[in-house]
């Protein structure tokens, strides 16, 4: 597991990621796809409009994956690279990408878990390459962040204003 | 692990409320949830046992507002405080940008506070993080209890705050000291994030 480094997602990276997700949805006939980082933050999503709170969903996804990671270690596996949750109508397939990100695919009876698994496997390879590239680039070439302290006090006051 | 999205101009940071069992971590989040305007908060998620003890975590997303043109969000998490939940505690701590340590001011809980602080240090170290470098704020909760049951803030400072980080006396059930705590950790997290970014 990586330490607490910061993430920056540039416009171009975001576009390439979303393109990958759209390709995956088209080829697998799944409903929607989300990318969540291991700490529970939503990075990107594509497909049908989400009918749930994406922030909670992302935090629970990360928790789900982390808990299963620990279970894997307990039975002597380095990891469970993918998880499948089967519902009556809706199902979820989760897969690890480059040990930093989780790909979540939601699908229904219009496709099969076999097809989803196959397409996810390919997408994971492509996304992993993309993320590796992003990590290697590191902080170079990223836009600078302005000072975040100016105005922060005011916003916190507003948040707790009477 | 903060996330800066330059496309949607959003910043998201993770703040973890840590501390011994029953020190008031969940109460902190519940009170904040109840006081913050609806459009500034998301759904609060609690993974608790049937007796309302935190099993995995509580989660509360807050929108701080627009800072320097970026929509800034904080995700508040609590860890399960009970000693035997250390495995899940480690998972929640992963990628934290800042930690609020909620201590129980009761005299009989002093050892639990110290043990939990040491546990925090050990769990951070396992992730390669030095407790001296991560933004940290202490909160001495339950200061509303009768004075013969609790340690005063000055005593707690001496016992727990050897890193001289910002610390606040608090009473989570009535909300006293909670916003001061959140403000202090927010400032420290944002300052660290500003410093970490390339100029």
Q: Which helix (H) or strand (E) holds A31?
A: none
Q: What is the mean pLDDT of residues B84-103?
A: 93
Q: Å from B23 to nearest chain A CA? A: 23
Per-residue pLDDT at A55? 87
Residue A54 is assigned to a structural domain of this protein: yes
Q: What is the pTM of this model?
A: 0.85
Residue A4 is assigned to a structural domain of this protein: no
Residue A116, domain CATH: 3.30.450.30
Q: What is the mean pLDDT of residues B132-148?
A: 97
Residue A136 belongs to what domain range?
11-160
pLDDT category of residue A144 using cuts at 50, 70 and 90: low
pLDDT category of residue B194 using cuts at 50, 70 and 90: confident
Residue-wise pLDDT for B34-81, tens only, equals 999 999 999 899 888 878 888 889 999 999 888 888 899 999 999 999
Per-residue pLDDT at A97? 95
Taking contacts as CB-CB distances below 8 angstroms, the residues of chain B near A38 are: 1, 94-95
Strand partners, B78: B17, B58
Taking contacts as CB-CB distances below 8 angstroms, the residues of chain B near A67 are: 56, 88, 91
Q: Classify domain B3-196 by CATH number.
A: 3.40.50.300
- By Cβ distance, the residue of A1, A11, A147 closest to B6 is A11
Shortest CA distance from B93: residue in chain A: A39
Verify whether the Cβ–Cβ distance B186 to A37 is below 8 Å. no
Residue A9 at interface with chain B, using a CB cutoff of 8 Å: yes
Taking contacts as CB-CB distances below 8 angstroms, the residues of chain A near B62 are: 159
Count of domains for chain A: 1
Q: What is the mean pLDDT of residues A57-86?
A: 91
User: ipTM of this model?
Assistant: 0.71
Domain limits, chain B: 3-196
Shortest CA distance from A10: residue in chain B: B6
Per-residue pLDDT at A151? 73
Residue-wise pLDDT for B159-191, tens only, equals 999 889 999 999 999 999 999 999 999 999 999
Contacting residues for B42 by C-beta, under 8 A, at least 6 apart: A53, A55, A56, B60, B61, B62
Residue A155 at interface with chain B, using a CB cutoff of 8 Å: yes
Shortest CA distance from B66: residue in chain A: A155
Residue-wise pLDDT for B17-39, tens only, equals 999 999 999 999 999 999 999 99
């Amino acid at each position: 597991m990586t330490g607490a480094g910061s993430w920056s997602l540039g416009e171009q990276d975001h576009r390439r990621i979303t393109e990958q997700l759209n390709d995956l949805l088209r080829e697998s006939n799944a409903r929607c796809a989300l990318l969540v980082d291991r700490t529970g933050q939503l990075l990107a999503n594509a497909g049908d409009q989400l009918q749930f709170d994406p922030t909670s969903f992302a935090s629970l996804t990360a928790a789900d994956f982390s808990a299963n990671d620990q279970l894997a270690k307990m039975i002597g596996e380095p990891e469970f690279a993918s998880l499948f949750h089967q519902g009556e109508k809706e199902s979820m397939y989760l897969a690890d990408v480059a040990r930093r990100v989780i790909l979540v695919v939601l699908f229904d009876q219009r496709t099969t878990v076999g097809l989803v698994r196959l397409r996810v496997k390919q997408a994971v390879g492509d996304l992993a390459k993309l993320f590796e590239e992003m990590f290697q680039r590191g902080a170079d070439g990223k836009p600078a962040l302005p000072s975040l302290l100016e105005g922060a006090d005011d916003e916190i006051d507003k948040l707790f204003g009477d | 692990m903060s996330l800066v999205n330059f496309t949607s101009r959003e910043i998201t940071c993770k703040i973890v409320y840590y501390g011994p069992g029953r020190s008031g971590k969940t109460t902190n989040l519940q009170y904040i949830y109840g006081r913050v305007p609806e459009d500034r908060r998301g759904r609060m998620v609690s993974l608790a046992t049937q007796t309302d003890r935190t099993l995995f975590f509580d989660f509360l997303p807050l929108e701080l507002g627009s800072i320097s043109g970026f929509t800034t969000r904080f995700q508040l998490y609590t860890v399960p405080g009970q000693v035997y939940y250390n495995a899940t505690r480690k998972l929640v701590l992963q990628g934290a940008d800042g930690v609020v340590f909620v201590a129980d001011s009761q005299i009989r809980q002093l050892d639990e506070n110290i043990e939990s602080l040491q546990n925090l240090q050990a769990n951070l170290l396992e992730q390669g993080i030095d407790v001296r470098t991560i933004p940290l704020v202490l909160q001495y909760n339950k200061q509303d209890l009768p004075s013969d049951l609790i340690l005063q803030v000055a005593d707690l400072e001496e016992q727990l705050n050897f890193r001289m980080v910002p610390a606040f006396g608090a009473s989570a059930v009535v909300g006293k000291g909670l916003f001061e705590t959140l403000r202090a950790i927010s400032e420290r997290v944002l300052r660290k994030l500003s410093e970490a970014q390339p100029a």
